[in-house]
Amino acid sequence: MTRSGQRNSIDRRSLLKFSAASGAVLATGMRAPAIAQSRAVKLGYVSPVTGPLAAFAEADNFILANFKEATKGGIKLGNATVPVEVVVKDSQSNPNRAAEVAKDLIVQDKIDLMLVASTPETTNPVSTQCEIEEVPCVSTVAPWQPWFIGRQANPGGGPPAWTGFNYTYHFFWGLEDVIAVFTNMWGQLPTNKSVGGLFPNDGDGNAWGDKQVGFPPVLEKLGYKLTDPGRYQNLTDNFSAQINAFKGANCEILTGVVLPPDFTTFWKQALQQGYKPKAASIGKAILFPVAIEALGRDGNNLSSEVWWSPSHPFKSSLTDVSAKDLAGAYESATKKQWTQPIGFVHALFEVAVDVLKRTPQRGDAKATVKAIAETNLDTIVGHVQWNGAGVPPFAAKNVTKTPLVGGQWRLKDGNKYDIVIVDNRTAPIIPTAGKMEPIG
Amino acid sequence: MTSASASPPTAQFRVAVSTPASLGLAAVGLLLLVGLVALPSVAERDLIQDLSFVFYMLALAQCWNLLAGYAGLVSVGQQAFVGLGGYLLFALTIFGNLDPLLAIVLAGVVAGLFAIPTGLVVFRFRGAYFAIGSWVVAEVYRLVFAQIKQLGGGTGTSLPPSVSNGVAGIDWVKTLFDVRAPAARDIITYWAALALAAGTLAVVYLLLRSRRGLALAAIRDQEATAESVGINTVRTKLAVYVLVAAMTGMIGALIYLQKARISPDSAFAVLDWTAYVILIVVIGGIGTIEGPVVGVIVFYLLQRYLADYGTWYLILLGAIAIAVMLFAPQGIWGSLQGRFRLALFPTQRRLERADVSGDRT
Amino acid sequence: MAGLLDTIIQGILLGGLYALFAAGLSLIFGIMRLVNLAHGDLIVLAAFAILALGSGLGLDPLLATLLALPVMFLIGFGLQQILLNRTLGHGLLPPLLVTFGLSIIIQNGLLQGFTADSQRLQAGAIETASINLGGGVAVGLIPLLTFASAVIVIIGLNVLFYRTALGRAFRATSDDLATAELMGIDHHRTFALAMGIAMIVVTIAGLYLGMRANFDPTIGPARLLYAFEAVIIGGLGSFWGTLAGGVIIGLAQTIGANIDPEWQILAGHLAFLFVLVLRPRGLFPRALD
């Protein structure tokens, strides 16, 4: 602790009260309330509850209710049992706001550990604040490259210029995994190995299309020919330039990381223009069942990476439920189809509780960071341990990866879709339920 | 001959700007400023951070108020200069290795220079066209910065801790207040925000009391007439536009020094850096210097206590925007002023009767 | 060559979409100089109204649109009578701020009522149908219908504006409000009718918005600026001008994208600025601003 807590000091609340009462602005002699020994452990959680990314946070209330239920008796820290408190803040899908609420959580709520999920637009500003404020932070649901490289001072600088972080840790998968999954799926079909790439000019798109760490170098090595017309702006209304380029290069495979409305625009326009690839493996756009349903009957056999599903053979370290039961509980509680972020948001809180339990020195950032680094936990999304496995040396300290497989959306009775896992060569532990089929 | 005392008392008039209240308050204001500078010695970090937010939003509001409330330029594109300033800060500190505080000043100068050609384009438009045109120009800025790969393109980039914690004077503050580096950095940005808020306030006030201020008021009220009495309206407006852009650029640089992460979508966000700023000015009272001060306090309190209500908070914000415009179009301060003839920062010229009784020798 | 032809055709069709988004705006901006920042959100509101009526009553989107038209007309009429009329006549700022408030309220109200899920109006096989023009150029049916609808809407607005008594009242209030009042025109009611009619156009735009791609409560503002650009390029009060403005932006976007996809949206904005710097009042202004 710094001396600031013991000095004569005024905090915001007492100041507001005071100014309301007397109209004065300066006051001395007030003390911040003394920190009681039995205070709760505080977790801060930032997620996009409102705004365009809100679909990612749809399961938050369900997960938080589960979490509160599981920790209602408090958690054991050393010999004491202390209550856990989660302070949730809405980023409004706005990076400015995300940075602001992160600061609030750190300075005002004095959280012990920050948790953040869902797209680089949320994770990056929050992680950046935590790094500066020297507050431990665990993040997920963003491929590690946009999270790690996107936060470098010079993202184009390459490994020697990129440095690791001291307070911020991330678990998810990386581009190398999604590339492996996609190419494995394409390998199941006879194609001309000509690939069209749709990459927007945003955190994900720039990482996927990057000439050093993205799709281009790997595809070239595997004998694929990539047609990349260039970065486009999100919420574009016309994709004829890209469609013509893909038609011209006879791309039998389509890939990219696209916003849901943009993919609908593209896919409908492509079909109108007579461009229909044999395989289309798209990130982000067809993550949620509602987004694939929006395509009507034209979504059948579109493929995507699968980071979590009810058939993942994992269970929660916190509540002991299996992936299948968690998804089932969500569906019966909300009457909505399960989505992939459910598992990861749940896992984020699993990691948090595990870390806290191993940090008896509550509020000590260095000790908490040490506990994060020493995590060795089987969660509902797989094993989480920052041991550098499968991660290049420059990011090995801060990044750990969970398994990734490939799936295809299959139309079933009427307008509903199910995702079927069709390739598990990247993670054989997760069972497949079918084979890759061409779009037809 | 008649004596002087026999002549009827003649009335003389003089033009006055100060009010008794304003003179007394000048002294109080000075005290307040000293108090705010010394505040970090007693205040907790959360208060310092919140006040930084209040100060930079106040500075932005003051700038927009000068533009719209006095020069009649209702711009919806001031985010162009906030984003420009922010990006300049990143470029100057990361690639130019400049000290962040120096970079803030330079960012203001460069933003002012950018404002000259920008102004020449948007000044082709009037009224509603100017509003939309300035917004389009800000979008052009956003899309251009999204293409600069060295600054992260559409992904954006983060300020390395070595830069943000390497602000000049940070060690001095650390030992002076006995705090850690992040808190010391907060105190320095707090002072910078305070300086910018007080600076913009002073600039606006002095400008409005000057001859230029009179010209501005004339243009706002009746542009054609102003022109006919010899005011070069285009030059006067352009001067204000450039001045406001320079100040806005400095504020933008400071904001992104504090946020430490920038991306085109956030830096050029019309909602954060223009729409909310307009809301602040209008809630407080447009066309008064006190209005933005009142408005920013209201906005801060709303956000502080209600933002956690998510959609309902935003719905309330929208309802407030509508309610203010319908029921108190002059804003809170404007309404009070109308009722009580208050003016802390008087800029209006009043005719005062200076009775001279007789003796005129 | 086929590539260039395709680019131009796609650009013109895209312009039809923007003109359809802009037509309602053009009407109210032309008549009462109202800068409606909630226009995009009203289009999304209309799309949700169609969705709710369609799924609630089991109708297909076209029938649901017919039901949504009177509802949206009444919403527009009421909005203008109760709220927007009170903001007019005091400069640019009051309508700007009130419609900004309205925009936030609609967005978050829809978010509260319909969640953040992507929605779509399903139109079946027609969605991907197209007409082959030969030489590798195909025109999608939906874009073609969009363009045709834009043209029909604009013809309709022109007939209304120049051939009817109501249109005379619109023109009179647009040109000289004070004189129109003297002539016994109740401008509040006239404006309310104009907004109601604008909402009918907005509902048609909402149908196409929902059929062509996903929509969610927050997507409204994304295309608002293009609509404003189309109106301003066209010139105040000129509906054909709005169509021309939409086509100019659509063409600039597709041609820009052909050079580099990064240039697509930027090229549209630059075309707008270019036209306006040359002709500050737009191409075919009918009324003085």
Q: What is the pTM of this model?
A: 0.88
CB-CB neighbors (< 8 A) of B159 in chain A: 128, 153
- Whether residue C258 and residue A93 make contact (CB cut-off 8 A), yes or no, is no
Give yes or no for residue A115 having a pLDDT over 80: yes
Measure CB to CB from residue B136 to each of C90, C100, C272 and give the nearest one: C272
CB-CB neighbors (< 8 A) of B143 in chain C: 265-266, 269
- Whether residue A52 and residue C216 make contact (CB cut-off 8 A), yes or no, is yes
With pLDDT > 70 as the criterion, what percentage of chain A qualifies? 91
pLDDT digits (tens, 9 = 90+) for A46-74: 999 877 788 899 899 999 999 999 998 88
Q: According to the model, what pLDDT value does residue C2 have?
A: 64
CA of B276 vs chain C CAs: smallest distance (Å): 10
Chain A, 9 to 48: residues with Cβ < 8 Å from chain B are 9-12, 15, 25-26, 28, 32
pLDDT digits (tens, 9 = 90+) for A403-433: 999 999 999 877 789 999 999 999 999 999 9
Measure CB to CB from residue C119 to each of A262, A269, A294 and give the nearest one: A294
CB-CB neighbors (< 8 A) of A119 in chain C: none
The reply to whether C287 falls in a domain is no
Tell me which chain C residue has its CA closest to the CA of residue B320: C101
Q: Structural domains in chain A?
A: 1-34 (no CATH), 42-173+311-401 (3.40.50.2300), 176-306+404-423 (3.40.50.2300)
Instruction: Find chains touching chain B: ≥3 CB pairs under 8 Å.
Output: A, C
pLDDT digits (tens, 9 = 90+) for A377-405: 999 999 999 999 999 999 999 999 999 99
Q: According to the model, what pLDDT value does residue A75 have?
A: 87
Q: At what angle do helices B290-306 and B311-327 cross, to 10 degrees?
A: 150
Chain B, 299 to 328: residues with Cβ < 8 Å from chain C are 311-312, 314-315, 317-322, 324-326
* Residue C66 CA, distance from chain mean position: 18
Q: Residues B118, B144: contact at Cβ < 8 Å? A: no
Length of chain C: 289
User: What is the Cα gyration radius of chain A?
Assistant: 23
Q: According to the model, what pLDDT value does residue C116 have?
A: 76
Among A370-379, B20-29, C140-149, C162-171, the minimum mean pLDDT is found in B20-29
CB-CB neighbors (< 8 A) of B70 in chain C: none
Q: According to the model, what pLDDT value does residue B183 have?
A: 87
Tell me which chain C residue has its CA closest to the CA of residue B323: C98
Give the domain CATH number at C27: 1.10.3470
Residue C192's pLDDT band, with cuts at 50, 70 and 90, is: very high
E strands, chain C, in order:
130-132, 138-140
State the SS3 of B233-291: HHHHHHHHHHHHHHHHHHHHHHHHHHHCEECHHHHCCHHHHHHHHHHHHHHHCCCCCHH
Q: Residues B330, B294: contact at Cβ < 8 Å? A: no
CB-CB neighbors (< 8 A) of C83 in chain B: 322, 326
Residue A124, exposed/middle/buried by CB under 10 A (0-12, 13-18, 19+)? buried
The reply to whether C286 falls in a domain is no
- A91 near C CB under 8 A: no
* Residue C114 CA, distance from chain mean position: 23
Mean per-residue pLDDT over chain A, rounded: 88
State the SS3 of C202-255: HHHHHHHHHHHCCECCCCHHHHHHHHHHHHHHHCCCCHHHHHHHHHHHHHHHHH
With tokens 């179009």, the residue in question is B329
- A300 near C CB under 8 A: no
Domain count, chain C: 1
Residue C287's pLDDT band, with cuts at 50, 70 and 90, is: low
Question: Which spans in A57-174 are helix H?
Answer: 60-70, 95-107, 120-133, 144-148
Residue A27's pLDDT band, with cuts at 50, 70 and 90, is: very low
Residue A350's pLDDT band, with cuts at 50, 70 and 90, is: very high
Residue range C137-155: average pLDDT? 94
Task: Mark the ranges of chain B whose per-residue pLDDT is less than 70.
Answer: 1-12, 14-21, 342, 348-361
Residue C247's pLDDT band, with cuts at 50, 70 and 90, is: very high
The reply to whether C119 falls in a domain is no
- Whether residue B128 and residue C97 make contact (CB cut-off 8 A), yes or no, is no
pLDDT digits (tens, 9 = 90+) for A147-198: 998 888 777 777 788 889 999 999 999 999 999 999 999 999 999 999 999 9
Chain A, 188 to 207: residues with Cβ < 8 Å from chain B are 200-203, 205-207
Phi, then psi, of A425 in degrees rounded to 5: -65, -25
Q: According to the model, what pLDDT value does residue C175 have?
A: 84
Q: According to the model, what pLDDT value does residue C180 have?
A: 83
Measure CB to CB from residue B325 to each of C87, C273, C280 and give the nearest one: C87
- Whether residue A271 and residue C136 make contact (CB cut-off 8 A), yes or no, is no
Closest CA to C174 of C23, C22, C32, C16: C32
Q: Hey, of B42, B155, B266, which one would you mutate to test binding to chain A, going by the most A CBs within 10 A of its CB?
A: B155
Distances (CA, A) of B111 to B69, B77, B242, B262: 22, 14, 8, 17
Q: According to the model, what pLDDT value does residue B21 have?
A: 67
Among A31-45, A363-377, C238-252, the minimum mean pLDDT is found in A31-45
Q: Structural domains in chain B?
A: 9-355 (1.10.3470)
* Residue C45, domain extent: 2-114+124-278
Measure CB to CB from residue B147 to each of C33, C109, C262 and give the nearest one: C262
Tell me which chain B residue has its CA closest to the CA of residue C100: B318
Residue range C253-280: average pLDDT? 94
Measure CB to CB from residue A294 to each of C115, C120, C141 and give the nearest one: C120
Q: What share of chain A is helix, strand, coil (3-state, %, to 5)?
A: 40, 20, 45
Tell me which chain B residue has its CA closest to the CA of residue A15: B47
CB-CB neighbors (< 8 A) of A274 in chain C: 130, 132, 138
DSSP B9: P
- Whether residue B121 and residue C90 make contact (CB cut-off 8 A), yes or no, is no
Residue A275's pLDDT band, with cuts at 50, 70 and 90, is: very high
Q: Which residues pair with A399 in a beta bridge?
A: A170
Tell me which chain B residue has its CA closest to the CA of residue A133: B182
Q: Hey, of B44, B159, B268, B304, which one would you mutate to test binding to chain A, going by the most A CBs within 10 A of its CB?
A: B44
Give yes or no for residue C137 having a pLDDT over 90: no
CA of A283 vs chain C CAs: smallest distance (Å): 16
- Whether residue C142 and residue A268 make contact (CB cut-off 8 A), yes or no, is yes
Instruction: Find chains touching chain A: ≥3 CB pairs under 8 Å.
Output: B, C
- Whether residue C112 and residue B311 make contact (CB cut-off 8 A), yes or no, is yes
pLDDT digits (tens, 9 = 90+) for A184-230: 999 999 999 999 999 999 888 988 998 888 899 999 999 999 999 99
The ipTM estimated for the assembled molecules is 0.93
CB-CB neighbors (< 8 A) of A54 in chain B: none
Measure CB to CB from residue A50 to each of B260, B266, B310 and give the nearest one: B310
Q: According to the model, what pLDDT value does residue B80 have?
A: 97
Q: According to the model, what pLDDT value does residue B213 have?
A: 81
CB atoms inside a 10 Å sphere around CB C57: 10
Q: According to the model, what pLDDT value does residue C179 have?
A: 83
